[in-house]
Structure 1
C-alpha cells in the first residue's frame, strides 16, 4: 500500500496495552529521517497515542512526552516541509497541555518563534543539560533550518548550564565547534557565536577550558 494511503488507526482499535507499547516504541522523527511523509506520519501517530486515555503507567507516558519536546520544537521551527512543521507544532501543543505547561501550549505567533524554547527552559530549566544533549544530533541534520534551530536552542539553554560538569560542557562545546565548520555560512557563524555564549556562561572559567577553547578557535 502506498505511503499516501496510510492513515492513523482509530483509537477504539487500540487496547490500553498496545497503546503503551506503541508509545514506548514510537518517537518523534529521528534527525536523519529523509522521507517527509514518514516524519509526518510518525509525529501524527505519536500525537494520537499520547491523547488516548486509560494509561496504565502515567509516569512513563509523561516521561516519553517530555522527551519529545525538543525534537518537536526543532521540527516546528526548522522543518522545510510545511506539513511536518504543522504536525510538529500541533503535537507540541498537545504535549505541553498534557504536561500542564500553559504558556507553551498557547498558539505561537510568527514574531514569537523562540517562545517554545524559552518556555521549555522556563518550565524545566533543571533539565537543560538533557534537552541540549537531545538537540546535538540535529546539528548534523540534512536541513539547514533545522541545524540553525538546534544551534539557537543551545544558545538559549547556555545560561542554564552553569551547574554542569566540565565534561558535559566540553562535549557541547566540541559539537558546536564542528558545527562552526558547517558548509553553510549562516550555520557556522551562529555556531561560533554560540561557542562564545557557552564559554561566557560558565563561571568561573578554568585555565584548561580557556586553553582548549583557544586551541579550537585557531
Structure 2
C-alpha cells in the first residue's frame, strides 16, 4: 500500500466497532492517523476537538444519522466528508452529496478502496493552488451570483445552494462560453470541503438544474456529450415578471 505523503488525521464515525477497527488498521498501514466516534454526537465533539482533515461518516446510525451530522458539520466548517452507506440507494447518495458530501461507498466495501479514495481527496485538497476570487456580483442572463454573500438569484428569486453547488456555478459563470470537462471543474476547486471527485460532479449538476428549473431556469447548464458542461443562455423564465 502506498503511504500518504502528507500528515493527516481521519475521523471514522460508525456505530459498528468492527468497521471502525478495519478502517483504523487500513489507514494506519497507509501512514494516516485516526480518531474514532461511535455516534453522531461524539463525531461532532471530535471534529470540534481535533479538527480532522477528513471525516469517514456512516449514514445509518441510531439517534443522529450521518446525514444530520453532515448538515451540522456543514453549518460550521468545510471538512471533506466521505459517506459509508448500507443502502445502495440513489436518493441516499444524491442527498448526501447535496448536503456537502465529497464521496461515498456502499457496504460491504474494500478498506483498501476507502483508503485509496480518501488519499485522493486529501492529495487534491492539499495540491490545489490558490486562485483569485471573483468579487462582487456576477451576471449572465437572469442568473446572478453575489460572491461576497454567497447568494444566487434567478431574476428576483433567490435560489438556495450548497457551497459546492455555488462554487461549480461560479466556475462556469466566470467563463460562460467555455466547456469544462469534469476534471477541469474539479481542478478549479480549492480548500477543505472542495474535494470533488468525478463521481459526484454529475450529481451536483443535476441538483443545480433541478433547483433553477423550479424557478424558471430551464437552460441553466448545457451538456456537451463526451466533453463536459458549460453555462446555458440563462434566458429562461423570470417567474417574478
**TM-score between the two structures when normalised by the length of structure 1:** 0.31
Higher share of residues assigned helix: 1
